[in-house]
Chain A
Amino acid sequence: MTNRMQVNLDINGQVETLEIEPRVTLLDALREHLGLTGTKKGCDQGQCGACTVLMDGERVLACLTLAAQAEGRKITTIEGLSAPGGAPHPVQAAFLEQDGFQCGYCTPGQIMSAVACIQEGHAGSDDEIREYMSGNLCRCGAYPHIVAAVRQAAEAMS
């Protein structure tokens, strides 16, 4: 008999009910069960930051969070950052203007992490941005433009 459990997830303000195995991570629940593929699977081991989402407003790694753990928390993914068809979030706009990516695979994680980094008050200088964004790897090496984008967004949001 398959071991399944019911999990209610609050994703971008909408409650979703899933019947899943307990071992399903929040990342796999988003991508494989809810079709929200904006959150990326990079290392799936808690080392790259591509799967960064907000949980109760704080940035966490969806690959090291069980979907069951997330029940009762408010999850925000890249899809929920701005209204459909609406203006992009200031961090998204800054990444576009500063060209803060090359291949784009790490970008949703970078943006979610940057939103939290600015909200935490950890974007006060380039050095502080580098320290507090260090959990998001970019194998293309777009770091200088990412720092510029976070700095621009921090100024725009202040």
Chain B
Amino acid sequence: MRDFTYRRAASLQEAHDLAAHPGAMLLAGGTTLLDLAKCGVTEPETVVDIGHLGGMDGIEANEEGATIGALARMSHVADHAGIRGYFPAVSESLWQAASAQLRNMATIGGNLMQRTRCPYFRDAATYPACNKREPGSGCAAIGGVTRNHAVLGTSDSCIATYPGDLAIALVALDATVHLGAREIAAEDFFLLPGDTPHREHPMETAEIITAVTIPGSAIARRSTYLKVRDRQSYEFAAASAAIGLELEPDGKTIRDLRVALGGVATRPWRARAVEEALKGQALTPETVREASLLAVEGAVARGDNHYKIELAPRVVARAILKLGESA
């Protein structure tokens, strides 16, 4: 890890000012920044520690909605009674991510800023070509070992999978990311790689995530996050689904539905085709399984990751059917 200057911001304004300097990077929990600094992927000249700022780690959640401060820790949000009760997909996405230690360190804002786990991105010494790390240098993943790479939202410049879990639930539940006064829909907060994969968020220099809000709804109350992976715990998703479901009073007709996918796309992937196909339909294994195939419309496999195209619709269907059984 290259040496840097450490500055502890005493206020949000000071953090903005310090972060505006070239070479400055924000540090909250540190689980991504220090990891990537050790890999040599990021080389900050100044680390601006915002982890001690007061008043930014609050969690409020009730029937009306949730407001989560950007410095709230993943573990605290996962265990919060209001989040568990009114936004179960959010709680489940958090406690199934990383490990207990990392969840105690990592913040909600930092979670949204985490970088891909693409091994070609992380290993700069062995693989100089990475358009995300070094624009224009190429993509070592294309033609390489692609078992964990994306099948949706890819480009000829980048096929790196978005690694997070929380954002999948946030995109499904129409959450909003707050950068001070500026608000961005969670879905718009993550950019497709296109030919600029180094640009991952529509943020300006020195902007800081301050909070995440989620509207309360019947959909949010009856929601879940299903994560399928190579080992049962402490692993990234092979495929995952965040689902919200609202049934008609008859208990078997789908009134409304939210579907988002993780582990298979270059960004959190909202599957509106599945939602539209199932609205007004009876919730049966047959209808749900057929509609879930629409989740991977347009998917492109590159060798080893072909299995994700078959796996993802199964995960979606299983999550919807599981929710349907939980009256």
Q: Which A residues have a C-beta under 8 Å from some C-beta of B?
A: 3, 5, 21-23, 25, 44-46, 49, 52, 55, 58-61, 64-66, 68-69, 72, 113, 116-117, 120, 122, 130-136
Chain B's closest residue to A117 (CB) is B100
B233 contacts A61, C-beta separation under 8 Å: no
Known A3-B5, A44-B38, A65-B30; further 15 A-B contacts with Cβ < 8 A:
A5-B6, A23-B1, A23-B2, A45-B35, A46-B31, A58-B75, A64-B35, A66-B6, A72-B52, A131-B232, A135-B98, A135-B100, A135-B101, A135-B234, A136-B99
Q: Counting CB contacts under 8 A, is B127 at the interface?
A: no
Contacts of A122 in B (CB 8 A): 100
Q: Counting CB contacts under 8 A, is B102 at the interface?
A: yes
With contact pairs A61-B105, A69-B49 given, residues A132 and B3 touching in the complex (Cβ less than 8 Å): no
Q: Tell me the bound Cα distance from A5 to B6 in angstroms.
A: 9
Q: Counting CB contacts under 8 A, is B8 at the interface?
A: yes
B3 contacts A61, C-beta separation under 8 Å: no
B105 contacts A66, C-beta separation under 8 Å: no
B6, B47, B101, B233: the one within 8 Å of A60 (CB): B101
Q: Counting CB contacts under 8 A, is B51 at the interface?
A: yes
B233 contacts A130, C-beta separation under 8 Å: yes
Contacts of B152 in A (CB 8 A): none
Q: Counting CB contacts under 8 A, is B4 at the interface?
A: yes
Q: Counting CB contacts under 8 A, is B171 at the interface?
A: no
Contacts of B102 in A (CB 8 A): 46, 61, 64, 135
Chain A's closest residue to B103 (CB) is A135
Q: Tell me the bound Cα distance from A69 to B71 in angstroms.
A: 14
Per-position contact with A for B1-45: 1 when CB-CB < 8 Å, else 0? Answer: 111111010000000000000000001001100110111000000
Q: Tell me the bound Cα distance from A60 to B3 in angstroms.
A: 23
Q: Tell me the bound Cα distance from A14 to B134 in angstroms.
A: 45
B35, B47, B104, B232: the one within 8 Å of A66 (CB): B47
B5 contacts A68, C-beta separation under 8 Å: no
Chain A's closest residue to B95 (CB) is A131
A69 contacts B27, C-beta separation under 8 Å: yes
Chain B's closest residue to A127 (CB) is B232
Q: Which B residues have a C-beta under 8 Å from some C-beta of A?
A: 1-6, 8, 27, 30-31, 34-35, 37-39, 47, 49, 51-52, 75, 98-102, 104-105, 232-234
Chain B's closest residue to A55 (CB) is B104
A69 contacts B30, C-beta separation under 8 Å: yes
Q: Tell me the bound Cα distance from A112 to B209 in angstroms.
A: 32
Question: Shortest Cβ distance from B71 into chain A, in angstroms?
Answer: 13
**Chain A, interface SS category:** mixed
Contacts of A132 in B (CB 8 A): 100
Question: Shortest Cβ distance from B39 into chain A, in angstroms?
Answer: 8
A49 contacts B99, C-beta separation under 8 Å: yes
B34 contacts A66, C-beta separation under 8 Å: yes
Q: Tell me the bound Cα distance from A41 to B132 in angstroms.
A: 30
A45 contacts B38, C-beta separation under 8 Å: yes
Contacts of B105 in A (CB 8 A): 60-61, 64-65
Question: Shortest Cβ distance from B1 into chain A, in angstroms?
Answer: 5
Question: Shortest Cβ distance from A147 into chain B, in angstroms?
Answer: 13
A22 contacts B104, C-beta separation under 8 Å: no
By CB atoms of chain B within 10 A, which of A5, A25, A59, A136 has the most? A59
Q: Tell me the bound Cα distance from A131 to B6 in angstroms.
A: 35
Q: Tell me the bound Cα distance from A55 to B102 in angstroms.
A: 12
A68 contacts B8, C-beta separation under 8 Å: yes
B31, B52, B100: the one within 8 Å of A116 (CB): B100
Q: Can you list 30 pairs linking A and B with CB atoms under 8 Å apart?
A: A5-B6, A21-B3, A22-B4, A23-B2, A44-B38, A45-B38, A46-B34, A46-B35, A52-B101, A59-B100, A61-B101, A61-B105, A64-B105, A65-B34, A65-B105, A66-B6, A66-B27, A66-B47, A69-B27, A69-B51, A72-B52, A117-B100, A130-B232, A131-B232, A131-B233, A132-B100, A134-B233, A135-B98, A135-B102, A136-B99
Contacts of A116 in B (CB 8 A): 100
Question: Shortest Cβ distance from A113 into chain B, in angstroms?
Answer: 7
Q: Tell me the bound Cα distance from A45 to B37 in angstroms.
A: 10
By CB atoms of chain A within 10 A, which of B8, B38, B49 has the most? B38
